């Protein structure tokens, strides 16, 4: 990959990790705003954080201390979110675009061996979280509460995306 493309990918990844940190805080805020946080929503959010931690552990080639589907309280989730964000930020701050192309050997949760670049692992963290934050929002809304928007465009605009009223069914 040409140097310019690697530098651009590095910058884009940095911006996506900024979004991830912002979105994780927004989900936590949604769960805290509920009188009784829905257990399914907290489980999904804990999974987002447990998976972030697992990928970070793989990048650093060490065993994770948190499961992919951990049981977390809101307080423990908040702590893990801060820890994950700091670790992700450290990778972007210290790794050159060339270092992000380093291949890492790891086994997935089913025990299958793989090799991926650090960059691809970080993109997986970002995209996986987006998927499950959407599920959390559905559960929060289904419990009668209002989820915090976590769309990327809301992050870059500094304002939520327009919402079209949902039809009554």
Q: What is the pLDDT of residues 12-60, one digit of tens each?
A: 899 999 999 999 999 999 999 988 888 999 999 999 999 999 999 999 9
Distance CA 169, CA 166 (A): 9
Average pLDDT over residues 67-73: 96
Q: Which domains does the chain have, with CATH numbers?
A: 3-157 (1.20.120.450)
Closest alpha carbon to 119 in 7, 2, 4, 33: 7
Distance CA 49, CA 44 (A): 9
pTM of the predicted protein model = 0.87
The number of beta carbons lying within 10 Å of the beta carbon of residue 83 is 15
* Model confidence band, residue 162 (pLDDT cutoffs 50, 70, 90): low
Coil/strand/helix, residue 115: strand
pLDDT value at position 113?
97
């Amino acid at each position: 990959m040409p140097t310019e493309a690697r530098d651009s990918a590095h910058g884009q990844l940095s911006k996506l990790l900024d979004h991830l940190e912002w979105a994780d805080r927004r989900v936590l805020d949604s769960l805290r705003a509920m009188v009784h946080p829905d257990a399914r929503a907290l489980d999904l959010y804990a999974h987002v954080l447990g998976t972030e931690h697992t990928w970070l552990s793989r990048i650093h080639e060490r065993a994770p201390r948190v499961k992919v589907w951990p049981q977390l309280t809101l307080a423990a989730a908040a702590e893990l979110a801060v820890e994950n964000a700091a670790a992700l930020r450290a990778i972007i701050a210290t790794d050159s675009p060339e270092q992000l192309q380093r291949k890492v050997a790891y086994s997935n949760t089913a025990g299958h061996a793989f090799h991926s670049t650090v960059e691809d692992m970080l993109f997986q963290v970002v995209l996986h979280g987006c998927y499950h934050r959407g599920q959390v929002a559905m559960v929060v809304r289904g419990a009668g509460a209002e989820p915090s928007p976590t769309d990327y465009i809301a992050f870059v605009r500094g304002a939520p995306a327009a919402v079209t009223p949902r039809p009554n069914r």
